[in-house]
Structure 1
Amino acid sequence: MSQLKRRTVLQALSLAPLAAAWSPLTAWAQATTLKISHQFPGGTLEEGDFRDRLCRMFAAEVQKRSNGSLKFEIYPGSSLMKTNAQFSSMRKGALDLSLVPLSYAGGEVPEVNIGLMPGLVPSYEVGAAWKNAEVGKELNKLLLDKGIVVVSWIWQAGGVASRTKAVVDPDDVKGMKIRGGSREVDLVLKAAGAAVVSLPSNEIYAAMQTGAMEAAMTSSTSLISFRLEEVSKFLTSGRGQSYWYMFEPLMMSKTIFDKLTKDQQNTIMTVGAELEAFAIKAAKQDDIAVATVYEKKGAKVVDLNAATVKKWQAIARTTAWKDYADKNENCAKLLKLAEKLL
């Protein structure tokens, strides 16, 4: 072999590994670390807020099934970025995954407010049915168009923590400074005579502690995790009956998802779907556990009945539902499809 030819072969061999290393698909297939952000308190695989636990279970199982080609870093308590920035960041590809109430993005994508529409989801069973029903398929399609992949469909019932009196009937909120959690819930509260306060769930404690807010509607898990029993004297629980079910999925940036191999994508979606049963079970357990937590602190715990739920639903139909349907054709369509499951 001539010296020139030998040099050419050696150069080709030396560049080959570099070419492989610089291939985007190869790089992602070798090892990728994805970041999961959420606003809830951090814990472990076995203990703590079930939403944080779900993220950790998801990360561990996907890493195992992908043979380490996918790894994860979890950032609880809004430690990576502010709560309300997560959805937008996923759309831009600046955040990989987040578990966040979908309705928080209502200002950016009005259609997603259906995820916290008072009276529209009457039970966990109906919420779970959304995924494969027409409403779920349309919502999923909309989110994909907006750059979001729904990995786990998670629903949670909500309750009310209050400093001053129990919130049961709509009349109870007259003149009360209360947090609803979404534009649609706020519309119902305003119609019932409340003064609405808007803030993320991780800011409720401080607002109630200072008296800037008298009551807050939030999920049973958040009622526990954010220690609101320390600043409350009354609890309306979500066990059994609730007019307040929230869609709080584990989501992923489509930009990031599309960079993965087919096997990695399938692993993520499979594990995400498998964890939905854990989420329902854990949410139901928290609906019961929250009552015990508040009773131990001396708070008075009350429950809702079907007649009371219907009072709230009646207000919701003429306020929140109407307002939502009037926004655009997509909203009207989603609402109509959701009503089919009632």
Structure 2
Amino acid sequence: MNPSQSTKTAALTSLILAAGILTASAQTTLTLTHSSPADSHFGLAATAFKKVVEEKSGGTINVVIQRMDNEREALESVQFGSQECAMGSAGPLGNFVAETRVLDVPFLFDSYKHARGVLDSDVGQELLALFPAHGLYGVAWLENGFRNLTTGSKAVHSPDDLRGMKIRTMENQVHMQAWQAAGVLPTPMAFSELPSALQQGTVDGQENPIPVILSNNLDMMQKHLYLTRHVYSPGIFVCNPDFIAGLTDEQKAAVEDGGKAASAANRARVEQDETAGIETLRKRGIEVVEVTDRDAYRKAMASANAGFESQFGADLLKRIRDWKAQ
């Protein structure tokens, strides 16, 4: 190779390297955390988001998915800007955006269609619009599913049978007030303490979505599963507002499209897990009872409604309960 060719080759190599450096520096990293295995309703949502965002942003956004078990800490990290985005249960969200606690009111939703319709409607969007004032940007509503009741030796034939029973609940005042209205002795405790509490008889029962009951083998310590579907547990996908503000219009659109894809993947998996999970639990020996008279349970908790109306507004609760598909 003569000196002229060598010089040209070196120059070309430098240009290629420079182009690579420019491309890398132009790429925005979006770190997204969630608290579940990769093959879960949140894991699949994260994967769907990554695929759509990286494609629709033309490769200018690189989505890095990481596991973070503490969902409250994840929300705080997004608030502080130490990570870009997080998805998970909406349970801790009320500590940041108090208005979202309205979604914890029992028997607020009749079905998945009802719950999803409300969250996808103006009501859900109005709640998301409150997030930026609290250092969060709401990308999309996700879900965990409906919570159901399990008990040990004592069978529940009607809400009257619940009176005096100790039921483990989340440390959630809305849930606890409703159970108290039904005569239950709500016993809040960390989830990690629940299996031993059931084994030792410290509590008579508990309530959780089907996938949680199944994956944690709670049915092994309980005899009866009642499909009360008393509380719909949403999930949430949030990002840091300053991060979103720094994106180009094309990148913002990619994030919004990715959020829609994440929500669709999440909801599909929740339904799949619930249907398959109920059958699996039945085969494992727990008695599965389909509660057809949900109104009886709703009425048993009705005395708590005045407090909920005062806290969240009667008009908002009515809008949610009366929602109809357009």
Structure 2 length as normaliser, TM-score? 0.80
Describe the shift of the 1:283–1:232 C-alpha distance in structure 2 as closer, same or farther (beyond 3 A): same
Q: Is this contact kept in 1: 2:187–2:203, CA < 8 A?
A: yes
Q: d(CA) in 1 for partners of 2:191 and 2:47?
A: 21
Among residues 295, 317, 323, which one is paired with 1:335 in the alignment?
317
Shift of 1:232: 2.4
Identity %: 21
Describe the shift of the 1:233–1:197 C-alpha distance in structure 2 as closer, same or farther (beyond 3 A): same
Shift of 1:318: 2.9
Which structure shows the higher strand fraction? 2
Shift of 1:125: 1.1
In structure 1, the partner of 2:208 is 218
Paired residues for 1:170-319 under 5 Å? 170-181=159-170, 182-199=172-189, 201=191, 204-237=194-227, 242-305=229-292, 307=293, 309-319=294-304
Describe the shift of the 1:193–1:146 C-alpha distance in structure 2 as closer, same or farther (beyond 3 A): same
User: Secondary structure at the residue paired with 2:129?
Assistant: helix
Tell me the amino acid that sits aligned with residue 163 of structure 1. G
Q: Is this contact kept in 2: 1:58–1:275, CA < 8 A?
A: yes
Q: Is this contact kept in 2: 1:103–1:115, CA < 8 A?
A: no
Q: Is this contact kept in 1: 2:52–2:261, CA < 8 A?
A: no
Describe the shift of the 1:174–1:129 C-alpha distance in structure 2 as closer, same or farther (beyond 3 A): same
Shift of 1:32: 0.8
Tell me the amino acid that sits aligned with residue 54 of structure 1. A
Q: Is this contact kept in 2: 1:168–1:236, CA < 8 A?
A: no
Q: Is this contact kept in 1: 2:136–2:238, CA < 8 A?
A: yes
In structure 2, the partner of 1:322 is 306
Q: d(CA) in 2 for partners of 1:229 and 1:52?
A: 24
Q: d(CA) in 2 for partners of 1:267 and 1:290?
A: 34
Count of aligned positions? 302
Q: Is this contact kept in 1: 2:119–2:125, CA < 8 A?
A: yes
Q: d(CA) in 1 for partners of 2:202 and 2:239?
A: 35
Structure 1 length as normaliser, TM-score? 0.76
Name structure 1 gaps, 5 residues minimum.
Answer: 1-16
Q: Is this contact kept in 1: 2:53–2:61, CA < 8 A?
A: no
Shift of 1:122: 0.8
Q: d(CA) in 2 for partners of 1:216 and 1:35?
A: 31
User: Secondary structure at the residue paired with 1:293?
Assistant: helix
Q: Is this contact kept in 2: 1:237–1:291, CA < 8 A?
A: no
Tell me the amino acid that sits aligned with residue 233 of structure 2. M
Query: Could you give the per-residue CA deviations for residues 64-107 of structure 1, whole angstroms, max 9, x where no partner exists?
Result: 4331622213205x1xxx33333333333344333233243334
In structure 2, the partner of 1:12 is none
Describe the shift of the 1:291–1:125 C-alpha distance in structure 2 as closer, same or farther (beyond 3 A): same
Shift of 1:158: 2.0
Q: d(CA) in 1 for partners of 2:202 and 2:71?
A: 21
Shift of 1:133: 2.7
Describe the shift of the 1:135–1:113 C-alpha distance in structure 2 as closer, same or farther (beyond 3 A): same
Say what the alpha-carbon RMSD is for the aligned residues: 3.0
Tell me the amino acid that sits aligned with residue 85 of structure 1. E
